[in-house]
Amino acid sequence: MTVLEQLLTKFNIQRPIHLTLLDPDKQSPELAKSIATQALAGGTAGIMIGGSVGVNQENLDATARIIKKHVPLPVILFPGDITGITHYADAVFFMSLLNSRNPYYITGAQSLGAPIIKKTGLESIPMGYIVIEPGGAVGVIGDAKLIPRDRGDIAASYALAAQYLGMKLVYLESGSGVPKYLPSKMISQVKSVIDIPLIVGGGIKTEKDALNVVKAGADIIVTGTLVENVENVKESINKITSAIEDY
């Protein structure tokens, strides 16, 4: 079963899932393995690896390799650029930052990265990426024309375009480390117009946050900053996964 099939299987049985995002430049590969192991025990469904700022290739390779070797979860690359690709992972979110002002982040980086991905044999998962204000580092690096938090209609139009372009997932992102998760109204507006799974990330810090995001329509939630700032990763993620699975 492919990684996408695993995600779609859970989506089709209407079970919200959680993914853990790790930035390979923010901890050693050994620590990343420890975090991923705890995340597995906490109920996460997969490990995403990536960062908004240029990733060190050596760190990326070592992080993906050690996690894949020791943690029985899909390892999915979340590249901010062509530097975010390694053959040690299982799959890559082949993203287009749809509301970027810079064509490089819509199709340019993708055209450069495609031959590399083909050579590695990684599973490619097409995904529409939409950045909402405040946007965080990805909004700056990706030169995003940030969508206002009260304009769910605009976000929904981008999401529907992603579906019509043949993308398999839509990812709404408010930025890493932002103070508040996306408005429920916006999530609901986006979910109401698409038939593909909706991923939501940014500002999800507690089980209550996660539950509100899932109730609004998210099929998959992503937390990254959370695992960087807590001592007990297993407990923190378990609170979130238990809350959304009980919904």
The CATH code of the domain that includes 165 is 3.20.20.390
Task: Classify burial at 161, counting beta carbons within 10 Å of its beta carbon; exposed 0-12, middle 13-18, buried 19 or more.
Answer: middle
Which pLDDT band holds residue 54 (cuts at 50, 70, 90)?
low
Give the pLDDT confidence score for residue 13 in this predicted structure. 60
What is the number of H-type helices and E-type strands within the chain?
Answer: 10, 8
Find the domain containing 238 and state its range.
3-10+17-245
Q: Structure pTM?
A: 0.95
CA angle 202/31/119 to nearest 5° reads 75
The count of structural domains within the chain is 1
- Would you say how long the chain is, in residues? 247
The average confidence (pLDDT) of the chain is: 93
| Residue-level pLDDT at 7 | 86
For residue 218, which of 175, 165, 159 has the smallest C-alpha distance?
159
Residue of 55 and 128 predicted with greater confidence:
128
CB 209 within 8 A of CB 203: yes
Place of tokens 């992603």: 162
Cα–Cα dist 65/140, whole Å: 29
> What is the gyration radius of the CA atoms in the chain, in angstroms?
16
Q: Which string of DSSP letters, residue by residue, matches 8-71? A: HHHHHTT--EEEEEE-TTSS-HHHHHHHHHHHHHHT--EEEE--SS---HHHHHHHHHHHHHH-
Contact 80, 104 (CB under 8 A): no
Q: What digits encode the pLDDT tens for the residues 121-173?
A: 999 999 999 999 999 989 999 999 999 999 999 999 999 999 999 999 999 99
Query: Tokens standing for 7?
Result: 């995600």
Query: Which secondary structure element, helix H or strand E, spans residue 7, and what is its range?
Result: helix 3-12
